[in-house]
């Protein structure tokens, strides 16, 4: 638990959801930099500014919702990146299926898989940190939660533009779906109808 979360708990204990001003805050919590502390608490969603110099603690449910929504706001930030990338694996499927088929996530973890160049890894690290976005290397042993970018570093890869984003070529996405056919059969059927990938013909030959 970070210090701001603990301070938020003590603010709730002291003021509840009542409005308080800077003088009340200073009288309750000795601080060498009270204005900065309050500014940070507002910035991180623990407090709401009600009027000039007055604040109140946010309801915990709103705090949780704010954290979740902050994660979702990072969904399309790679579109403004200045390095090559391509959505891949389960994250390429909804792009090629026009949003028809989404899978590969849970209620607590929403990964976005992207290919990046090995030589650009340092750039991507800075990029995600500066945009307050969570990220991890593929197969890295970490506890993952919320919305996160999963980086698949490669020395080179193909990327095609579709609906304003860069994604791996269709044949690579089809190959991924075939590898996990039990989970991606609806996507394969859609892609067959949309692009004629030969999936139904393949099924017929196997029967």
pLDDT tens by residue, the chain, 207 residues: 589 999 999 999 999 999 999 999 999 999 889 999 999 999 989 999 999 999 999 999 888 888 777 777 777 899 999 999 999 999 999 999 999 999 988 888 899 999 999 999 999 999 999 998 999 999 887 788 888 999 999 999 999 999 999 999 999 999 999 999 999 999 999 999 999 998 875 555 454
Contacts of 134 by beta carbon, 8 Å cutoff, 6+ apart = 71, 74, 128, 144, 146, 147, 148, 149
Residue 197 lies in a domain: yes
Residue 113 lies in a domain: yes
Structure tokens at 197: 């990938």
Same domain for 88 and 38: no
- pTM value surpassing 0.95: no
Same domain for 94 and 47: no
Same domain for 116 and 31: no
Residue 172 lies in a domain: yes
Q: Which of 111, 12, 113 has its CA nearest to residue 62?
A: 12
Q: Which domain holds residue 82?
A: 75-206
Residue 65 lies in a domain: no
Residue 67 lies in a domain: no
Structure tokens at 46: 């623990």
Residue 151 lies in a domain: yes
Q: Compute the half-sphere exposure of residue 56: CA atoms within 13 Å on the CB side of its CA.
A: 10
Q: In angstroms, how far is CA 30 from the centroid of its own chain?
A: 37
Residue after which a domain boundary falls, among 58, 84, 105: 58
Same domain for 177 and 91: yes
Domain count, the chain: 2
Same domain for 125 and 98: yes
């Amino acid at each position: 638990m970070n210090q701001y979360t603990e301070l938020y708990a003590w603010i709730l204990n002291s003021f509840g959801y009542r409005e308080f001003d800077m003088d009340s805050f200073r009288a309750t919590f000795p601080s060498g930099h009270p204005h900065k502390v309050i500014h940070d608490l507002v910035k991180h969603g623990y407090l709401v500014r009600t009027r000039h110099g007055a604040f109140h603690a946010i309801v915990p449910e709103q705090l949780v919702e704010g954290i979740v929504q902050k994660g979702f706001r990072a969904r399309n930030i790679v579109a403004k990146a200045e390095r090559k990338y391509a959505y891949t694996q389960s994250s390429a499927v909804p792009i090629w299926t026009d949003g028809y088929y989404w899978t590969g996530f849970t209620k607590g973890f929403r990964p976005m898989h992207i290919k990046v160049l090995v030589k650009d890894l340092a750039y991507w690290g800075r990029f995600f940190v500066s945009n307050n976005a969570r990220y991890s290397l593929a197969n890295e042993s970490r506890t993952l939660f919320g919305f996160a970018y999963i980086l698949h570093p490669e020395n080179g890869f193909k990327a095609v533009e579709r609906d304003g984003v860069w994604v791996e070529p269709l044949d690579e996405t089809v190959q991924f779906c075939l590898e996990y056919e039990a989970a991606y059969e609806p996507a394969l059927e859609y892609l067959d109808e949309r692009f004629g990938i030969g999936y139904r013909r393949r099924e017929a030959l196997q029967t």
